Structure 1
Amino acid sequence: MSTLPATMRAHAFKTNGGPEVFESIELPVPGLDDRSVLIEVAFAGVNFAEVQHRRGEFGEPDGPGGYDVPGLEASGCVVAVGDGVTEVRVGEEVAAYLPAFGGYAQFAVTSADFVRPVGALPLEVAAGVPCVYPTAYGLVSDVGRLRAGDSVLIHSASGGVGGAAARIARASGARHVFGTVGSPAKQPAGYDALFSREAFADQVLEATDGRGVDLVLDPIGGPVRAASLQVLAPFGRVAVFGDQGRHDDWTEDVWALWKNSRAVAGYNIGDVARRAPATIGGHLERALAALASGELPYEAPSVVPIAEVAEVHRGFEAGERSGKTVLRVG
């Protein structure tokens, strides 16, 4: 640690609000404990959860100096490790999930449970993997229990998790992969059909000859979540992983679930990271290998200088961005 600088440049916020609250400031370089890995960040992935973080949906800033640094995923080079770390070594290029945030900075620290070598994958691509792909694997495999021959419907199909889940579902033997989009201008690849999010139910039933789909992945909530139940095949599941629509709390009658042989399940990567951290590390390792080998295809992310982070967040809130966006930090 003695060869590292004492401070680092970070893009952070001291008050919750719109994108204008971002500041470029100096903060102390994070310290290590026995299981920590310190990474010099090259690229940081951008996720909608970071918009929620900035807006105050996870609470008020309480980091060093009263500032919070967003960023759930990053790639870069390991510069220091704790005494108990064996998964990676100093000098290795890695991707890392950051459950406590911190990716929008020159250096970030996280548990070795959430850090894996990138192998042959380019660092800018790897930066968009650590949060998105473990979430997608968790939704498709752990919660969704997708089997070969199943059909799946993915809301927010043009988003990072949506695109990753579509690739994973296809590789897992899904018969049909459908998606919904909020704007007709968004036409992501990899789907058998795309439907308007405002009027998808009849279209899904028509596309499946009235049977419905076996699995729905829903980060939207509200009316979209309610309508998703109506397009489920027998024993179908709605896997919930967000509330981007900022709707009031959604409820469903258990009697109706029972009578119609339906299920609703949830996936929260923060909860899994706290209670089953090895699951996140395993999915991250699997994803990096599958992307590097070509088993899972990928599109190059949009790379934006970190100085433009406020504009990137504005685009996310306006629903103008699709695919994966990463910030060039180093």
Structure 2
Amino acid sequence: MRAIGFTSNGGPEVLEVIDAPEPAPGPGQVLIRVAYAGVNFAEIQHRRGEFGEPDGHGGYDIPGLEVSGTVVALGPGAHGPAVGERVAAYLPAFGGYAELAVAEAEFVRTVGELPLAQAAGVPCVYPTAYGVLTDAGRLRAGETVLVHAAAGGVGSAAARIARALGAGLVLGTVRSPGKAEAAQTLGYDAVFARDGFTEAVLEHTAGRGADLVLDPVGGAVRRASLNVLAPFGRVVVYGDLARDPDWTADAWDLWKNNRAVVGYNIGDVARRSPASIGAHLASALSALASGALAHEPPAVVPPAGIAGLHRRFEAGATRGKSVLDIGELATA
């Protein structure tokens, strides 16, 4: 089969189209002929070596955390979608930038009438958005939610899901004015520049602040987020886009000001609570297919454009969701 992989860590230039052996589904697994693969920041981290050196077949690692396509085979004991069904799947061990991918059956769900290009951007992003809002964030109806990186993949999903779950006010921050314009179309009540957001949030909430802050950025943004929390407010940490040195929250400050910092990592959830990811994935696909959650078409990128897309991710220049057209790998 054809795939996109790398044999050494580095910049986007290490990505190349390769011929790789076809995988076979093991016990409890599903083999999928991939139509589209979602592209996420974790794949940039994978390529750069933040998860270790390449150790796949022939020395290659194949990125890709989420795919859509058609089931072509089931491993022993696998239950769920049947051969021939259109599905989306989360791949915690990567492997999505390929014509065929193996997924654990518990991370595979049918997509209904949802277009496959749209479905490819769901399995990692939407369970994360549901997870940070409900599992980690404990969102309650009427609360105010602040979403950093508001125009990104998770941010775009979280804004719509928060509204569907009954949030009273949904605010966002973005890195640049161009992203503010994009974020305004996602249903936010207001979107602010990330620099100096504390004053804007407090002014917009009449000084009360946010009940829940979703933070994939880190660094100064994370520290400042504590200062916009309402009583018993929570900051949910689920990324580190700022690449800032680690910081230590002051337990005294959290105690005296009724604040909380909570973590969410989908990889750990996949290992220790896989059923929750499958449940969130099913909920998202159903809501998107029915129209209960609005969705925008993703940007579809050909294999030749993957290095450029990775560069835009690193520069913080992407908006919404991007997916890779795996069907074009055959001619790449």
Normalising by the residue count of structure 2, what TM-score does the alignment of the two structures yield? 0.96
What's the CA shift string for 1:111-148, capped at 9, x where partnerless? 00100000111100000000000000001111111111
Q: Any conservation in 2 of the 1:44–1:104 contact (CA below 8 Å)?
A: yes
1:220 equivalent among 193, 217, 221: 217
Amino acid paired to 1:228: S
2:251 equivalent among 251, 254, 260: 254
1:308 equivalent among 296, 305, 309: 305
CA deviation after TM superposition for structure 1 residue 204, in Å = 0.3
**Equivalent in the alignment of 1:84:** 77
Amino acid paired to 1:316: F
**Equivalent in the alignment of 2:265:** 268
**Equivalent in the alignment of 2:33:** 40
For the residues of structure 2 that align with 1:46 and 1:273, how far apart are their CA atoms? 18
Q: Per the alignment, in what secondary structure is the counterpart of residue 285 of structure 1?
A: helix
Amino acid paired to 1:204: V
**Equivalent in the alignment of 1:106:** 99
2:117 equivalent among 124, 128, 131: 124
Q: Any conservation in 2 of the 1:315–1:321 contact (CA below 8 Å)?
A: yes
Q: Per the alignment, in what secondary structure is the counterpart of residue 265 of structure 1?
A: strand
Amino acid paired to 2:87: V
1:133 equivalent among 126, 136, 143: 126
Amino acid paired to 2:221: V
2:159 equivalent among 156, 166, 186: 166
CA deviation after TM superposition for structure 1 residue 250, in Å = 1.7
For the residues of structure 1 that align with 2:111 and 2:141, how far apart are their CA atoms? 29
Count residues with an aligned counterpart.
323
What's the CA shift string for 1:189-238, capped at 9, x where partnerless? 21111111111000000000000000000000010000000000000000
Say yes or no: does 1:327 pair with 2:324: yes
Q: Per the alignment, in what secondary structure is the counterpart of residue 321 of structure 1?
A: coil
Q: Per the alignment, in what secondary structure is the counterpart of residue 157 of structure 1?
A: coil
Q: Any conservation in 2 of the 1:104–1:306 contact (CA below 8 Å)?
A: no
Say yes or no: does 1:57 pair with 2:46: no
For the residues of structure 2 that align with 1:311 and 1:182, how far apart are their CA atoms? 20
What's the CA shift string for 1:27-48, capped at 9, x where partnerless? 1111221101010000000001
For the residues of structure 2 that align with 1:86 and 1:108, how far apart are their CA atoms? 17
CA deviation after TM superposition for structure 1 residue 321, in Å = 1.1
For the residues of structure 1 that align with 2:159 and 2:257, how far apart are their CA atoms? 26
**Equivalent in the alignment of 1:3:** none
**What is the aligned-residue identity percentage?**
67
For the residues of structure 2 that align with 1:24 and 1:222, how far apart are their CA atoms? 36
Q: Please say which of residues 229-238 and 250-259 is displaced more in the overlay.
A: 250-259
What's the CA shift string for 1:245-303, capped at 9, x where partnerless? 11101211111100000000000000000001111000000000000011110111001
Amino acid paired to 1:230: N
Off by >6 Å, runs of 4+ in structure 1: none
For the residues of structure 2 that align with 1:132 and 1:247, how far apart are their CA atoms? 23
CA deviation after TM superposition for structure 1 residue 307, in Å = 2.2
- Structure 2 residues not aligned, in runs of 5+: 328-332
Say yes or no: does 1:277 pair with 2:274: yes
CA deviation after TM superposition for structure 1 residue 161, in Å = 0.3
Q: Per the alignment, in what secondary structure is the counterpart of residue 149 of structure 2?
A: coil
Say yes or no: does 1:17 pair with 2:14: no
For the residues of structure 2 that align with 1:32 and 1:304, how far apart are their CA atoms? 28
Q: Please say which of residues 189-198 and 147-156 is displaced more in the overlay.
A: 189-198
What is the aligned-residue RMSD (CA, Å)? Answer: 0.7
**Equivalent in the alignment of 1:144:** 137
Amino acid paired to 1:291: L
**Equivalent in the alignment of 2:330:** none
For the residues of structure 2 that align with 1:167 and 1:255, how far apart are their CA atoms? 35
Say yes or no: does 1:195 pair with 2:192: yes
Q: Any conservation in 2 of the 1:221–1:250 contact (CA below 8 Å)?
A: no
Q: Per the alignment, in what secondary structure is the counterpart of residue 133 of structure 1?
A: helix
**Equivalent in the alignment of 1:229:** 226
2:239 equivalent among 213, 227, 242: 242
Query: Comparing both structures, which one devotes a greater share of its residues to helix?
Result: 2
Q: Please say which of residues 118-127 and 30-39 is displaced more in the overlay.
A: 30-39
For the residues of structure 1 that align with 2:325 and 2:308, how far apart are their CA atoms? 14
CA deviation after TM superposition for structure 1 residue 85, in Å = 1.3
1:297 equivalent among 294, 299, 313: 294
